[in-house]
Structure 1
Amino acid sequence: MSHPVKPRPISRNRLTSAIGPERLREISTAFAERRAGYSLESPFYTDPGIFAADMEGIFGQHWVFAGSIAEIPEPGDYLTVDYGPYALILLRNDDGGVNALHNVCRHRGARVLTEPTGTTGNLVCGYHSWTYSPEGALIHASAPGEAGFDKGCFGLKRAHSRVVAGLVFVCLAEEPPEDFDEVAQIFEPYLAPHDLGKVKVAYQQELVEEGNWKLVMENNRECYHCDGHPELACSLFPTWGLTDETVPTHLADVWQRNLSAEEALRTRCDRYGLPFEVVEELDTRVAGIRISREPLDGAGESFSATGRRLSKKLLGDLRDFRLGRCSMHLQPNSWFHFLADHVITFSAFPVNERQTLVRTTWLVADDAIEGVDYDLEKLTHTWKQTNLQDKNFVELCQRGAASPAYEPGPYMKSEYQVEAFISWYVERMKEHLA
């Protein structure tokens, strides 16, 4: 029986050949000389060589959030995911897992599946009709008279895939980072009560931001700029990331309201047996994570102008709408909000050194009916606007980073998670380049 090709890393020689050994040494030196506590030097955001290194050392080696099982709910459903030079097919299999296959035909390299989503049995390349099983094995190649052609040698190349609490992760490395198992054990109890096995996609937004992927992630990892998010400020406390010592005078009342809401949320979580505490290991492990349950302002139920629920249907086994948000950050490319009435997933997929695709997906209970249980425009309004505002902020930074006048500036205390992300990134790249 033929089997698909096992995961195999992209050769380090490919990067050396692409940018040259001297340039590779320059890039390694830049990582070694990075100044802690400051933003990165301009080339980290603008240089094609560093982008190529990022794709090999970060996106080619680490677990990347690719989507949720709600996007591929039935066997045969697939979605395609592209980042940097990589193109993958994520195909739901009969066992409930996900096959991750490189979307590159083994004949002459054509894309096998060209639609972003769909349903398929076997995978048929549209160029010369080479046909692959859902596991990637080549089962048909129209090659009359080709003596000695062994179909077993030409299956689609595979990547590693994992489904944890309804989230789908992929890794292109031959040997994925081992501590992801430990991280999965951390976040699964937080997510399990929301039961992503019983949700559906309400809406998906894709934005191409004219900015380097690291600027997208830096912007996400702080709320120093949250005055620029008026819709989000209705429900998300603008004191996020602050402490008693760093709260400015004009936010003192908000800070006290936040502390009261936090205590009320803790009481509810204790009542329902929901994990609450902050787990923050963003740069102290290979698979960096931050997760917690945090209160929302107003009614404390959802991302609306009043804080009231946006869907009438509770998720999973939850018994109360007023549970704030379970917020999770995972390195290198994702962040999430799990609420009692819906879930929002965010993923950043680098396109090139100056562009990043940000995909946002809203998930509701699978029996929720649009127009009856939720209003789609109201459900998506806050984060649609917030994403557009963040797109503008990222693009402002990208233009600035490309200026001859740019030089790295210091991160403020409230931006400690930005420093944690950059510290994680630099350490991973130093390990890879070494």
Structure 2
Amino acid sequence: MEQTLSAINVAPTRGGAAGLTSERLDEIQALLDERRAGFSLESPFYTDDDLFALDMRAIFGRHWIFAGSIAEVPEPGDYITIDLGPYSLIVLHDDDDGVTVLHNVCRHRGARVLTEESGSTGNLVCGYHSWTYSPSGELLHASAPGEIDFDKNCYSLKTAHGRVEAGLIFICLADEPPSDFDDTAEIFRPYIAPHELAGTKVAYQQNIVEEGNWKLVMENNRECYHCDGHPELACSLFPTWGLTDGLIPPHLEEVWERNKTAQTALEQRCRRYGLPYEVVEQLDTRVAGIRISREALDGDGESFSADGHRLSKKLLGDLRDFRLGRCSMHLQPNSWFHLQSDHVITFAAFPISAHQTLVRTTWLVADDAQEGVDYDLETLTHTWKQTNLQDKAFVELCQQGAASPFYEQGPYMKSEYQVEAFINWYIQRMREHVA
């Protein structure tokens, strides 16, 4: 029987294509080489278990991945667990106000050490045989009757890289992480820092499992061609996002003019307060691809609500005006963000299998904001709860279509240029790894 990637060790630190038969490697290499620019990917990229395993190795095993925000682990000892395909990670707030990232695999017989999605801990105790580790991963206790020659120093939990940038937590499983993330952090830090995420708290977190490949989740996020399917979001997000003069359909011309007027007013306020707003777009021209800008919202221009009005009475950080639209950031490969003056929403896509993805959405408000006094939780979360469910349905329709024997690649529209950039970034990274 031909050995497949799903049946071999997919550790990110091993050789690029180790374990693949030459025939299977040739097949995957051909798919990558024959990628048709400007068109969706061929079906196996969305459905094939071997390609999913390679995704986990080449993308999620080598690059910086958004894991969460510091508001999710506000105190030393607080942790979250992250599952990425075959990998399970513990992200722990350490005593130096950074994060320690540990593989959630006991060094005795491989049991999960921490089984909850989040919590607080001192030492880490495996529930199987009580092997006990320090918060930095050293094995502290593994006593058993009759054991003599047992060197605990050889059995620490395995570690991964972690860093906190402007209150956002990133992890990397590679031995040597891509170095250009430093430059990407320099780009986004001035945009995000004024919101002071370290001074926020989690108001709500939503986990949705979408029956779709992680790339379809990201493709759906990277365009607004489908935004007519988001009636709640369209109340505050201009449906002309991604369009330019010359591409505006007649029924959106009035909206486009309103959008331009609102953007001009927003940029004047940003200059007044010294806030960056310019579009920086390097989605497929660097390894740590990014797009970031500050963009106007419709209505009152303050937040994602039915009339664009603020959803929390508390301003974030040192911001002095509610009318600052949204700071929008896209990072390759798995995250996007909306930062308003009154709250922040982070989104992360965590692959489960070739046809399942966990999408985690987290709403952050000022740490002194009181539910029921400064914000109503249902109103705060309504727009994006509904939008996420609508996106889930869209992604699942695409997954079903990709599995059809009659699926054929289709062209991206001009407004879907960010989808093309995401796919181009993905193909570049996969070619590098396979090579």
Q: Please classify the TM superposition score into its range, dividing by the shorter chain length.
A: over 0.9
* Preserved contact between residue 129 and residue 142 of structure 1 (Cα < 8 Å): no
Shift of 1:23: 1.3
Q: CA deviation at 1:45?
A: 0.2
Shift in Å at residue 33 of structure 1?
A: 1.0
Report the counterpart of residue 4 of structure 1 in structure 2: none
CA distance in 1, matches of 2:247, 2:323: 28
Partner of 2:241: 240
- The answer for the alignment partner of 1:172 in structure 2 is 173
SS at 1:201 equivalent: strand
Give, in whole Å, the separation in 2 of the partners of 1:228 and 1:288. 27
Q: Deviations over 1:128-174 (max 9, x none)?
A: 11110000011111233323211111100000001000000000000
Spell out the pairing of 1:3-402 with structure 2 (5 A cutoff). 9-12=12-15, 16-17=18-19, 20-402=21-403
Q: Does the 8 Å CA contact 1:136/1:156 hold for their aligned counterparts? A: yes
Q: AA paired with 2:288? A: A
Please name the residue that 1:411 is paired with. 412
Instruction: Write the letter of the residue equivalent to 2:203.
Output: A
Once residues 144 and 98 of structure 2 are traced to their aligned partners in structure 1, the CA distance between those partners, rounded to angstroms, is 33
Question: 1:32 Cα deviation (Å)?
Answer: 1.1
Does structure 1 retain, via aligned residues, the 8 Å contact 2:13–2:175? no
Alignment correspondent of 2:5: none
Q: CA RMSD in A?
A: 1.0
**Counterpart amino acid of residue 203 in structure 1:** Y
How far off is 1:29 after superposition? Answer: 1.6
| Deviation of 1:230 (Å) | 0.2
Partner Cα distance (2:358, 2:337) in 1? 16
Give the Cα–Cα distance (whole angstroms) in 1 for the partners of residues 203 and 395 of structure 2.
26
Query: Partner letter of residue 177 of structure 1?
Result: P
Cα deviation, residue 9, structure 1: 3.8
Alpha-carbon separation, structure 2, partners of 1:215 and 1:412: 16
1-structure distance, mates of 2:29, 2:288: 22
Equivalent residue letter for 1:92: H
Question: Match of 1:232, as an amino acid?
Answer: L
Q: Within 1, Cα distance between the matches of 2:429 and 2:332?
A: 11
Give the Cα–Cα distance (whole angstroms) in 1 for the partners of residues 26 and 101 of structure 2: 33
Q: CA deviation at 1:247?
A: 1.0
**2:434 equivalent in structure 1:** 433
Distance 1:21 1:365 in 2: 55
1:28, CA displacement in angstroms? 1.7
Q: Offset of 1:50 from its aligned partner? A: 0.4
Partners of 2:68 and 2:278 lie apart in 1 by 26
Q: Higher mean Cα deviation, 390-399 or 241-250?
A: 241-250
1:275-311 Cα distance to aligned partner (Å, 9 max, x none): 0100000000000000000000000000000000000
Residue 26 of structure 1: CA displacement?
A: 1.1
SS of residue in 2 equivalent to 1:347? strand
SS at match of 1:39: coil
TM-score by length of 2: 0.96
Partner letter of residue 95 of structure 1?
D
Q: Percent identity of the aligned residues? A: 75
* 1:299-337 Cα distance to aligned partner (Å, 9 max, x none): 000000000000000000000000000000000000000
Equivalent-residue separation in structure 2 for 1:153 and 1:12 (angstroms):
24
Deviation at 1:271, TM superposition (A): 0.4
Instruction: Return the letter of the residue paired with 1:184.
Output: A
Partner secondary structure for residue 44 of structure 1: helix
Q: Which runs of 5+ in 1 are unaligned?
A: 1-7
- TM-score, normalization: structure 1? 0.97
Residue pair 1:190, 1:326 contacting (<8 A) in 2 also = yes
Cα offset, 1:245, TM superposition: 1.6
Alignment partners' CA distance in 2, 1:302 and 1:377: 14
Q: How many residues align?
A: 425
* Secondary structure of residue in 2 paired with 1:203: strand
Deviations 1:42-75 (A, max 9, x none): 0000000000000000000000000001000001
8 Å CA contact retained: 2:47, 2:403? yes
Distance in 2 between residues matched to 1:25 and 1:139, nearest whole Å? 47
Q: Give the match's secondary structure for 2:272.
A: helix
The one-letter amino acid of 1:227's match is D
Q: Which residue identity does 2:120 align to in structure 1?
A: T
More displaced stretch, 178-187 vs 140-149: 140-149
Inter-partner Cα distance in structure 2 for 1:293 and 1:407: 37
- CA contact under 8 A between 2:195 and 2:339: conserved in structure 1? yes
Letter in 1 for 2:275: L
Letter aligned with residue 422 of structure 1 = I
Question: Residue type of the partner of 2:304?
Answer: F
Contact persistence 2:12–2:58 (CA under 8 A): no
SS at match of 2:294: strand
Query: Are the aligned partners of 1:87 and 1:102 in contact in 2 as well (CA < 8 Å)?
Result: yes
**Which position in structure 2 is the counterpart of 1:3?**
none
Secondary structure of the structure 2 residue equivalent to 1:292: strand
Cα distance in 1 for residues equivalent to 2:34 and 2:131:
49
Maintained 8 Å contact 2:70/2:197: yes
Aligned structure 1 segments of 4 or more residues deviating by more than 4 angstroms: none
